[in-house]
Amino acid sequence: MTERIGWRFTVLVPAILAALSMIGPFSVDTPFPAFPEMGRAFDVGTEQLQLVVTVYLASFALMSVFHGPLSDAVGRRPVMAVSIAVYVVASIGAALCSSFVVLLVFRALQGLSAGGSTIVSRTVIRDLFDGPQAQRLMSRVAIIFGIAPAIGPIMGGLLLQVGSWRGIFVFQATLGVVLILLVVLLLPESHPAERRVPLNVSEVLRGLVDVGREGAFQRLGWAIALLFGAQFLYIGGAAVFVVDVLGQGELDFWKLFVPMIGCMMIGSWLCGRAAGRISARRLVSLGCTTAFAGGVIGVLVAATPYAAELPWAVVGVSLVALGNGITYPTMQLMLLDRFPHRRGAVVSLASFVALVLNAITAVAVVPALAGSALGFATTALVSVGAGQLLWAWHCAVEDRDCAVSKDAAELEPTEML
């Protein structure tokens, strides 16, 4: 298929999809460097400022359930274009707001709309490609997707050098306009009318229920959420970890994000290189083991006098990110292949599970850690350990089902006699 459709689909389309997938994570942490200035502007403290993250994530999670099923019904492009347009309006509103409450309202609207591109863009590659080619392109998207959390706070810090915190939201609005143009002018519709499902509430809910009741979805969906959750603990808690634990300033978020996201990008690159050479199952197992090793190393470092010293303080989470980069694209494809006619619903429900976990992390777990390096590391180890156990359970169920199918196939000729 790659040879027939040419470079536009193998180079341009993945680049556009990667840019679309960035807007969700990019919008999470771009305001981090502006927290001190926003706190002074609205006379609020650190705990209240954390709501800027929590409200966004909670809204993103709430709406994420519906973006995918809507794209199954009306097509991928309309959902992405309309949702980004709403995101642009929300960003402008946040830039012009006059109170902290109004800011939170527009952050909620940002969260409700950002998933339209972030979630739906993942289904397009699987719509267009199969097998190793799909894995390679999903890995390329994951590489660029991984840049977003790293450049978010860096870009926020740079924008603060030339203007106020409001400029961060103006920049997000501008980014949204560019993405709308890319969707409308360059992105093909990958979900034609003949493949679409009826657009009604009962059909949307039925699709979500069908996906959610599948045991494989529960194992893989939660494994993905928990493995990435260990990394998100540091992303969502960056304002605490970088400033309170490491003692760094508003321009120093790169010291966490560059190595962490750099390792995730390397992992995604390795995943793409392994496509067609190493089985998907072996690749995921390797990634899970790498992430778990990172969790263990993180705890060991946090228990020493080097707990808040760079670069040692970020070695563990960087290895967790490396493991995530290896596993994430492949596990996403495993989920999508389970429901070829409900890919939007699959991505939406998987995103919802991950986002709810991330929102809980941001609002409950991070404040409870009280700026402790050992608390961050121990929580991350528990999360990756649980994810690896779920993956091991999934492999055991697959082995059992394979053995049952083999036994049934061997008995069939005898029964016919």
73-96 residue pLDDT tens: 888 888 899 999 999 999 999 999
- Cβ 394 vs Cβ 217: under 8 Å: no
Quick check: is 82 in a domain?
Answer: yes
- Cβ 138 vs Cβ 94: under 8 Å: no
Quick check: is 209 in a domain?
Answer: yes
The encoded tokens of residue 150 equal 């790293």
Q: Omega of the bond prior to 198 within 30 degrees of 0, cis? A: no
Task: Count up the domains in the chain and report the number.
Answer: 1
- Cβ 335 vs Cβ 295: under 8 Å: no
The CA distance from 92 to 138, in Å, is 32
Q: What's the pLDDT band for 416 if we cut at 50, 70, 90? A: very low
Quick check: is 169 in a domain?
Answer: yes
pTM of the full structure: 0.74
The CA distance from 349 to 209, in Å, is 10
CB atoms within 10 A of CB 223: 23
Q: Which of 131-140, 150-159, 182-191 has the lowest mean pLDDT?
A: 131-140
**123 has a pLDDT exceeding 70:** yes
- Cβ 19 vs Cβ 147: under 8 Å: no
Q: Which of 21-25, 254-258, 379-383, 395-399 has the lowest mean pLDDT?
A: 21-25
Quick check: is 321 in a domain?
Answer: yes
Token pair 């993405």 is found at 179
How large is the average pLDDT for residues 372-378? 91
In degrees and rounded to multiples of 5, residue 67 shows phi and psi of: -60, -50
Q: What H or E segment, with its residue span, contains residue 199? A: none
Quick check: is 73 in a domain?
Answer: yes
**258 has a pLDDT exceeding 60:** yes
Quick check: is 123 in a domain?
Answer: yes
In CATH, what number is assigned to the domain containing residue 220?
Answer: 1.20.1250.20
Quick check: is 37 in a domain?
Answer: yes
Quick check: is 417 in a domain?
Answer: no
The CA distance from 283 to 270, in Å, is 10
> Tens digit of pLDDT for each residue in 23-44?
887 887 788 888 889 989 998 8
- Cβ 220 vs Cβ 335: under 8 Å: yes
How large is the average pLDDT for residues 100-123? 89
**Short-list 137, 369, 363, CA closest to 269:** 137
Range of the structural domain that residue 138 is part of:
2-412
